[in-house]
């Protein structure tokens, strides 16, 4: 498992693993499984979340692989907002969802803060006629700093957002420009100060380690500026070059740091943040207060039901995975004719569901065997003993009776390690 230096180059392809089995195994022919899951009553005690995808951005970042649009006018945005509200409304009477309160909601993108205050209020008012966020433990809202104003942040707070996530990515204007980001550092500081004035329960800052042009000096500066801002949590992703990103087309001309350097940068950030009192809460996140929770992440990684609404969004309901249609027109048109915009689905086997939770929870840096025994009736440490022992031999994990802990080096490369636990047919599969 030791990675030779030649394999450390940042090649085009996906690295980050957000689900299992890989999306390339989901099929259009299986959307009846999603319909069947919606018609079954829920498993008692399963939390329910709502993801609301806002697929608009001011510019397309060169590393972005999400379904986003930079060219939609206000009528098209309005059409989309109407479609989203219709989608949530279509769900409300289904047996799997009836009378279930939301445990969490997540406005993601794209750029949810791309919406104007008016569009946002109108979206939330329409959503509220079908679903209530009032009892939700956490409502997250992703923002691009340059789209924010003090007034918009107040509106975001008023609609019930508890956790604001600012997509800072880097503090160097030339690196932001090179990456195709729409915002600049000045807008970060302005937006952050407004967010604090408005008073969210949690403000998160997102950084990316390894943006094109990154250097050790600049990265140290980014970490220092992050510490100065004192956010409640910091999320750090290592830059990847997915197939559908703009960068993937200019392969050869990109001066991207290799994986070892990116891990070193995240390690530096984690260590500096720990030195001022932060705690590492997953491979990507540190929190200032160890009791700070990230409800969305923890619920999804423990198999919660989640309705993903919006174009190309991913859902998991009643043990079934499905994804919405991934074209703006087909998504909106389906809802305009009163149909759910289901695009492809997969019903994982019980073993695949177990592997899904195992690999996602490994990203927390620790696994509790008793959780899996209670939920799946299996001793995962025994069942996957060769894989865990191989992680231990390579210095990536420490095994103890009933639990596993990843070392820092294991945690920093967790996405490269978790395919070890995949079923043979899923190893090496593309995540598209």
Q: By CB under 6 A, is residue 325 in contact with ligand SF4?
A: no
CB atoms within 10 A of CB 370: 10
Q: By CB under 6 A, is residue 354 in contact with ligand SF4?
A: no
Residue window 65-84: x/- pattern of binding to ligand SF4, with contact defined by CB under 6 A: -x-x----------------
Q: Any bridge partners for residue 405, and if so which? A: 366, 398
Pick the closer one to ligand SF4 by CB: 53 or 163: 53
Pick the closer one to ligand SF4 by CB: 61 or 156: 61
DSSP 347-384: ---HHHHHHHHHHHHHTTTEEEHHHHHHHHS--HHHHT
d(CA 16, CA 18): 6
Contact 156, 114 (CB under 8 A): no
Q: By CB under 6 A, is residue 61 in contact with ligand SF4?
A: yes
Of the candidate residues 10, 19, 103, 111, the single one contacting ligand SF4 (CB under 6 A): 111
**How near is the Cβ of 67 to ligand SF4 at its closest, in Å?**
9
Select the span of 2-10, 108-116, 267-275, 402-410 touching ligand SF4 (CB under 6 A): 108-116
Contact 141, 163 (CB under 8 A): yes
Q: In 234-313, which residue ranges form alpha helices assigned H by DSSP? A: 259-275, 295-301
Strands 138-143 and 104-109: parallel
Residues 21-60 that bind ligand SF4 (CB under 6 A): 57, 60
Of the candidate residues 37, 48, 54, 64, the single one contacting ligand SF4 (CB under 6 A): 64
Q: Any bridge partners for residue 322, and if so which? A: 315, 345
Pick the closer one to ligand SF4 by CB: 144 or 352: 144
DSSP state of 171: S
Pick the closer one to ligand SF4 by CB: 109 or 341: 109
Pick the closer one to ligand SF4 by CB: 69 or 371: 69
d(CA 258, CA 7): 9
**How near is the Cβ of 37 to ligand SF4 at its closest, in Å?**
28
Report the Cα–Cα distance between both ends of the chain, in Å, rounded: 25
Question: Around 81, how many Cα atoms within 13 Å sit in the side-chain half-sphere?
Answer: 23
**How near is the Cβ of 167 to ligand SF4 at its closest, in Å?**
6
Select the span of 18-26, 107-115, 304-312, 371-379 touching ligand SF4 (CB under 6 A): 107-115
Contact 174, 166 (CB under 8 A): no
**How near is the Cβ of 110 to ligand SF4 at its closest, in Å?**
5
d(CA 322, CA 306): 10
Of the candidate residues 53, 124, 131, 144, the single one contacting ligand SF4 (CB under 6 A): 144
Pick the closer one to ligand SF4 by CB: 47 or 146: 146
**How near is the Cβ of 233 to ligand SF4 at its closest, in Å?**
18
Pick the closer one to ligand SF4 by CB: 57 or 412: 57
Query: Closest CB to ligand SF4 belongs to which residue?
Result: 64
Pick the closer one to ligand SF4 by CB: 61 or 96: 61
**How near is the Cβ of 407 to ligand SF4 at its closest, in Å?**
30
Pick the closer one to ligand SF4 by CB: 169 or 298: 169
Pick the closer one to ligand SF4 by CB: 42 or 112: 112
Non-local (6+) Cβ contacts of 60 within 8 A are: 68, 70, 180, 246
**How near is the Cβ of 66 to ligand SF4 at its closest, in Å?**
5
* Nearest CA-CA partner of 18 in 340, 237, 309: 237
d(CA 354, CA 378): 9
Residues that contact ligand SF4, how many (by CB under 6 A): 11
* Nearest CA-CA partner of 324 in 20, 15, 23: 23
Contact 228, 199 (CB under 8 A): no
Q: Any bridge partners for residue 241, and if so which? A: 12, 13
Whole-number Cα distances in Å, 356 to 168, 363, 432 = 30, 11, 17
Q: By CB under 6 A, is residue 16 in contact with ligand SF4?
A: no
Select the span of 62-70, 93-101, 381-389, 409-417 touching ligand SF4 (CB under 6 A): 62-70
Q: By CB under 6 A, is residue 110 in contact with ligand SF4?
A: yes
Question: Interface residues with ligand SF4 (CB under 6 A)?
Answer: 57, 60-61, 64, 66, 68, 109-111, 144, 167
């Amino acid at each position: 498992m030791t990675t030779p230096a030649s394999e450390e180059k940042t090649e085009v392809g996906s690295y980050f693993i957000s689900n299992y089995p890989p999306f390339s195994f989901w099929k259009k022919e299986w959307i009846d499984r999603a319909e069947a899951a919606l018609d079954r009553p829920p498993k008692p005690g399963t939390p329910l979340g709502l993801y609301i995808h806002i697929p608009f951005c001011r510019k397309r970042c060169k590393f972005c692989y999400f379904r986003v649009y930079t060219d939609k006018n206000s009528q098209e945005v309005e059409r989309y907002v109407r479609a989203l509200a219709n989608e949530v409304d279509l769900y409300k009477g289904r047996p799997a969802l009836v009378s279930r309160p939301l445990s969490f909601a997540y406005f993601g993108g794209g750029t949810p803060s791309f919406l104007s205050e008016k569009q946002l209020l109108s979206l939330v008012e329409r959503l509220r006629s079908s679903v209530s966020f009032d009892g939700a433990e956490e409502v997250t809202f992703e923002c691009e700093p340059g789209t924010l104003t003090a007034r918009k942040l107040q509106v975001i707070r008023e609609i019930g957002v508890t956790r604001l996530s600012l997509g800072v990515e880097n503090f160097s204007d030339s690196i932001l420009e090179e990456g195709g980001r729409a915002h600049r550092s000045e807008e970060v500081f302005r937006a952050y100060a407004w967010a604090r004035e408005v008073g969210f329960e949690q403000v998160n800052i997102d950084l990316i380690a390894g943006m094109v042009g990154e250097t050790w000096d600049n990265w140290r500066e980014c970490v220092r500026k992050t510490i100065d801002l004192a956010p409640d949590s910091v999320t750090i992703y290592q830059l990847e070059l997915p197939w559908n990103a703009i960068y993937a087309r200019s392969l050869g001309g990109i001066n991207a740091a290799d994986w070892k350097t990116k891990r070193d940068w995240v390690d530096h950030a984690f260590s500096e943040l720990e030195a001022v009192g932060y705690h590492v809460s997953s491979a990507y996140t540190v929190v200032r207060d160890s009791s700070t929770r990230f409800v969305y992440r923890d619920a999804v990684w423990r198999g919660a039901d989640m309705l993903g609404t919006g174009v190309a969004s991913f859902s998991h309901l009643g043990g079934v995975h499905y994804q919405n249609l991934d074209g703006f027109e087909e998504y909106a048109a389906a809802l305009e004719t009163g149909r759910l915009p289901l695009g492809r689905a997969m019903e994982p086997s019980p073993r695949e569901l177990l592997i899904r939770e195992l690999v996602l929870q490994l990203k927390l840096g620790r696994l509790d065997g008793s959780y899996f025994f209670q939920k799946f009736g299996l001793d995962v440490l025994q069942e996957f003993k060769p894989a865990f022992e191989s992680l231990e031999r390579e210095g990536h994990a420490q095994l103890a009776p009933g639990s596993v802990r990843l070392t820092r080096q294991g945690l920093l490369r967790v996405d490269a390690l978790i395919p070890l636990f995949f079923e043979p047919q899923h190893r090496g599969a593309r995540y598209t």
